[in-house]
Structure 1
């Protein structure tokens, strides 16, 4: 019997002055990772070799010039450029930003052409990437343009999944951005994602209110009364299990979130502050709603610790495993939809690392990487 090919995992290098290269190399220093996938880093073999020595990682790199040379059992580095690059850890640099974009564009091109199966992106700096040729707030907006579908920022762990109605939108613009059409689209995206990508057969979704106390029946703004409540009722009448709007201030502290498969927050900080507080650095940023799979760690470039060999790679490793798991779930879902007589998927039971095939299964859970804070996640 022919041995099944491993999932090809494309990796964009991110901002070279940040912690991206460190968390990538630390992740694949564990040789067991190559049992699960074939990594392809889009960068330069010269620069990644230098970073390997700098970060004192014991890893065998395989430099290639085209996708046809990707080799299983090796950490492949596809040469996206060959000229030398000056790295200054912790410094914002527009030139470095352009190399981050070169890597992202090459990795996305390979993803679109099925040369890699999934994409994991290392963090970028939103300011240094800007140019006439690249004018996007971050990864999500760029990938939404390049790939098919409607993207949704979906922050996930095994026990908590938070999606956003609006992501990189200024506070003053949030209320007018949230329309019945947007709410319907985002809920439908999360509902489908939970079924297709996470094996939840009958998703149960909570929606957080726009205003404090969900508007207190109109006392504190009418957006919840006029937009969220009627839209949620309409979607519920169609058979989806969607509830709310819930007052956001007490929702997580009261453990209400544990009763739902996913929570939809109205805006960025409403969802990401509790998510990052509860996930302890094990969270993953998943771009749901697209025809291809992209994940990333839930932190940014962390310039404040870049180059100091202090970065915790836990979230990047979780992003790798999330991408691989979603890829397999999608294949299974497609088979089930082709043959509906097969057994329908069930919501998988939560497993801790000691019960899973995770390479860290026998290790103690690492401390939170609070030091790795940054103002970028995209």
Structure 2
């Protein structure tokens, strides 16, 4: 990244606007309206000044100031930047799920990722989009995570939900439940565990992380009575990662593990599938937790909620998760610099 985009090593964080008819623009504005945030990093919203202006007026946030730029090379420090990815005026319909919202969410994401890959920005924080509305011949991904993993040139990444000391990753993400058992393989678990451990070390500064692994079946299989994936797949994966002198425990029955607050004894928890990890996480941390994509050469975070069309444009959205996503991105950038990790080390 050139000196023109740097100011006293202050990070430049790109923000994708998400679905313009969802709560993305609202939580972005609410998160950035406190100017104190500008002392820590320089935010760049990838979208349209017209969209931000619409929501600023609709939300009665007239004191929210920003500078419009046409290129990341013209970024203004100590200000909120809005990079105009498109110039045309588009119809904004808060709360309506339509093709327009999906189309422009993708345009915002693609432009931000292009700048990210060229190291013109230090991180990306993605506002929510509707997965079904972004599908096209040019964009066939279940969500942000899968797209960003491909763009990073990686074969895999880790969906990592973070809130204070609670960090939950998943082996399988956005796939049907009926496919989970076949996708939970020894190789997949080993990969996810290694990415979690490495992320805890270099992104969170935990030198010797303690990681817990959940079982797939009720009661973690009950010694084979309720399923054999634990004995045949999960335990061998844990044993292999342990050979690298890593602290890994399990497999634990998921219900008891969370019910007894056992997660407090660990730096990270690896769940086998999406809802197994995200239901307890969101029960404890919804509106505060952050979705972090671990295992990529660049930093990406997002709020742990979706587009919330039902409340879009009403001023009711809670921006805490999005603000926390910004702060986590900033923290990880700084942690990586302190650890002197280079992008190539992650591959």
Runs of 5+ in structure 2 lacking a partner?
1-5, 343-347
| Distance apart, 1:152 and its partner CA | 0.9
| Distance apart, 1:49 and its partner CA | 1.4
| Distance apart, 1:238 and its partner CA | 2.6
Residue 147 in structure 1 maps to residue 127 in structure 2 = no
**Corresponding residue of 1:121:** 126
Structure 1 residues 233-287: Cα deviation after superposition (integer angstroms, max 9, x where no partner):
2221331111100000111110100000000000000000000111142100000
* Aligned with 2:162 (options 148, 156, 164): 156
| Distance apart, 1:151 and its partner CA | 1.3
**Corresponding residue of 1:167:** 173
TM-score normalised per structure 2: 0.94
Give the distance between the partners of 2:164 and 2:332, measured in 1 at CA: 12
Residue 52 in structure 1 maps to residue 56 in structure 2 = yes
User: Contact conserved, 1:148 with 1:291, CA < 8 A, in 2?
Assistant: no
| Distance apart, 1:3 and its partner CA | 6.1
User: Contact conserved, 1:49 with 1:61, CA < 8 A, in 2?
Assistant: no
User: Contact conserved, 1:174 with 1:267, CA < 8 A, in 2?
Assistant: yes
Runs of 5+ in structure 1 lacking a partner?
337-378
**Corresponding residue of 2:41:** 37
Give the distance between the partners of 1:5 and 1:49, measured in 2 at CA: 30
* Aligned with 1:4 (options 8, 32, 42): 8
Consecutive aligned runs of 4 or more in structure 1 exceeding 6 Å deviation = none
- Give aligned pairs, total: 335
User: Contact conserved, 1:17 with 1:306, CA < 8 A, in 2?
Assistant: yes
Report the RMSD for the aligned CA atoms in angstroms.
1.3
| Distance apart, 1:94 and its partner CA | 1.1
**Corresponding residue of 1:349:** none
* 1:198 alignment partner, SS class: coil
User: Contact conserved, 2:301 with 2:325, CA < 8 A, in 1?
Assistant: yes
User: Contact conserved, 1:7 with 1:37, CA < 8 A, in 2?
Assistant: yes
User: Contact conserved, 1:42 with 1:106, CA < 8 A, in 2?
Assistant: yes
Residue 253 in structure 1 maps to residue 259 in structure 2 = yes
Structure 1 residues 94-127: Cα deviation after superposition (integer angstroms, max 9, x where no partner):
1220000000000000111111111000000011
* Aligned with 1:15 (options 13, 19, 27): 19
User: Contact conserved, 1:296 with 1:319, CA < 8 A, in 2?
Assistant: yes
| Distance apart, 1:69 and its partner CA | 0.8
C-alpha change, 1:249 and 1:142, in structure 2 (3 Å) is same
